[in-house]
Amino acid sequence: MGTKSSVFDMIGPVMIGPSSSHTAGVVRIARSSIKILGGIPDEALITFYNSFARTYEGHGSDLAILGGLLDMKTDDANIKKSFEKAKENGLKYTFKSIGNASVYHPNTIKLNLTRGDRKIEVIGESLGGGIINIAEVDGFHANFSAQSHTLIIKAQDISGAIAFISSVIAQEKTNIATMSVSRKGKHDLACHVIEMDSGLQPITIEYLKSLPWVKELIYIPDIDL
Amino acid sequence: MSYLFESFIGWKSYCEEKNMALYESVIEYEVTQKGKSESDIWKNLDKAYQVMKEAVETGLKDDMSSRSGMINNGAKKVYNHSQAVLSPEFQKLISRALAAKEVNSCMGRVVAAPTAGASGILPGTLYTLQEIHQLSDQKIFEGLLVGAGIALIIEQKASLAGAVGGCQAETGSAAAMASGAIVFCLGGSVDQIFNAVAITIQCMLGLVCDPVAGLVEVPCVVRNASAAAIAYSSAQISLAGVGAVIPVDECVEAMGEIGANMETKYKETALGGLAATLTGQEISKRVLIQDIEILPDEELPE
């Protein structure tokens, strides 16, 4: 049996209809992705898989994903106007539907986003009740919910990297909830995805960034904040 | 207080022991288990009720037509119709439950209480209750807390999700929350509140989740209206002291048992019931996206 619910899971959340997995969850996937990208994209290729492939329009998931890409929160009444807002913000987008993709959760979205010369690919799953899992970032396994504080570090695959990063986090008395590390190959690029119960100070983040073997660091506080 | 919100009988004896009102124990739970402050709880309830009232009013004022076309300003038509089948109050109740739920179907802002699919029931019932009986907002907030306690127990003993327990889990639970809140707000005893919950569940048992084209529109919207009516009929029966015979905890267990044995095609999959009718399938063909690249069976996406 899972953790007991809050009163405000029963009377809440306040959200944009019609369905928590098709709107709230989708908005959260998009907002997590733009935190990884570093801002609102210029261009987005949005691929809906399996169950989402057929239903995304009827449930308004197309509006929800654009709303999230424009940094709207899950209860923003403007989500309904996302097509107009995308035009105003110069966001170019393409939708694609793919069925029978057996490796993904039934409600999966892939986002290929471009901002200036930065390009990212994010795969997100809407698990129901507005809960999400970011399954992959740029081909690396990620598996984070974006509901706690998340650190994504791309670094050279050197020995001791995991111990080093976790000891720096431990200095702040921050508890690590989940951690996943994957790499392209031996001594190639590795990706550390760390979910923490509380946030890190800017100075700690800057220190980690300054390490010569750290190639990229993205810090995502709770996406609903 | 780990045993709180595992059963109605446990909730009642806890409150009797501590000489507490039902709603006070819900606050205590949220403070001790979820680390919230009491003032934040009242603030959040105020916000939730505000959003509920806005949903009712928006649904009766703004254009409410869904992209599929199945929802098309029904609440307004009901509200403005010249003939009241029972009374003007009943007409308002029905149109308000429809209104808030239409807002949900048309991508407006709602409170999922307990779920988005049932988001018209508490707004419709409580808005109308407050108006008829001139209740304070504070009383309504307390009623919402009683409703939350009811939902916490149903979630533990059965389910609140259509995909797990069918429509009874969503609109049935919302109606049970509303009915308990109504009896509480009108001064009923704990037994009468729980009795109203039991009667409501008895009336909603077995309802399947069979949404046309998989959208939260048909029959979800009209079921929010009927659930609101059932919440009131159960409250009326219970306040008169007429018992449910089967105790509330056992009614919830029956709901869980029925949900567990319900076929998958009746649990939000849009494969059975109304979704599988000739017309349901035609609508589905029209509104669902057909331009899909289907991957071959063995090939995995890149």
Contact B214 A55 (CB under 8 A): yes
Return the H-helix or E-strand segment holding B60.
helix B38-61
Alpha-carbon gap: A143 to the closest alpha carbon of chain B (Å):
18
The pLDDT of B244-269, averaged and rounded, is 96
Q: What local confidence, expressed as pLDDT, does residue B3 receive?
A: 63
Task: Residue B217: list chain A partners with CB under 8 A.
Answer: 18
Return the H-helix or E-strand segment holding B108.
none
Give the nearest partner residue to A15 out of B116, B163, B291, using CB atoms: B116
A interface with B, Cβ–Cβ below 8 Å: 4-20, 23, 49, 53-60, 63, 75, 77, 79-80, 96-104, 128-129
Alpha-carbon gap: A210 to the closest alpha carbon of chain B (Å):
33
User: Coil, helix or strand for A28?
Assistant: helix
Confidence of residue B33 (pLDDT cuts 50, 70, 90): confident
**Which long-range contacts (C-beta less than 8 Å, at least 24 apart) are formed by A160-165?**
A161/A190, A161/A192, A161/A213, A162/A192, A165/A192, A165/A194, A165/A208
Give the nearest partner residue to B105 out of A5, A18, A103, using CB atoms: A18
Task: Residue A63: list chain B partners with CB under 8 A.
Answer: 107
Q: What local confidence, expressed as pLDDT, does residue B295 receive?
A: 85
With pLDDT > 70 as the criterion, what percentage of chain A qualifies? 97
What does each C-alpha distance from B4 to A40, B28, B29, B40, B300 come to in angstroms? 45, 10, 8, 21, 47
Q: How far is CA B236 from the centre of its chain?
A: 18
Q: In order of start, what are the domains of chain A with their CATH numbers?
A: 3-138 (3.30.1330.90), 149-220 (3.30.70.260)
pLDDT digits (tens, 9 = 90+) for A139-168: 999 999 888 899 999 999 999 999 999 999
Residues contacting residue A202 through CB under 8 Å, at least 6 positions apart: none
pLDDT digits (tens, 9 = 90+) for B42-91: 999 999 999 999 999 999 999 999 999 999 999 999 999 999 999 999 99
Contact A14 B109 (CB under 8 A): yes
Residue of A nearest to B66 (CA): A58
pLDDT digits (tens, 9 = 90+) for B132-171: 999 999 999 999 999 999 999 999 999 999 989 999 999 9
C-alpha A107/C-alpha A26 separation (Å) is: 9
Look up residue B175 and give its two tokens. Answer: 């109606």
pLDDT digits (tens, 9 = 90+) for A46-104: 999 988 888 898 889 999 999 999 999 999 999 999 999 999 999 999 999 998 887 57
Confidence of residue B296 (pLDDT cuts 50, 70, 90): confident
Task: Residue B51: list chain A partners with CB under 8 A.
Answer: 14
pLDDT tops 80 at residue B2: no
Which DSSP state fits B267?
Answer: B
Task: Residue A77: list chain B partners with CB under 8 A.
Answer: 108-109
Task: Residue A79: list chain B partners with CB under 8 A.
Answer: 107
C-alpha B203/C-alpha A127 separation (Å) is: 31
C-alpha B170/C-alpha B224 separation (Å) is: 10
With respect to CATH, is domain B8-299 assigned 1.10.1740? no
Tell me the domain boundaries of chain B.
8-299
Structure ipTM over 0.90, yes or no: yes
Contact A11 B116 (CB under 8 A): no
Alpha-carbon gap: B82 to the closest alpha carbon of chain A (Å):
30
User: Coil, helix or strand for B23?
Assistant: helix
C-alpha A29/C-alpha A48 separation (Å) is: 12
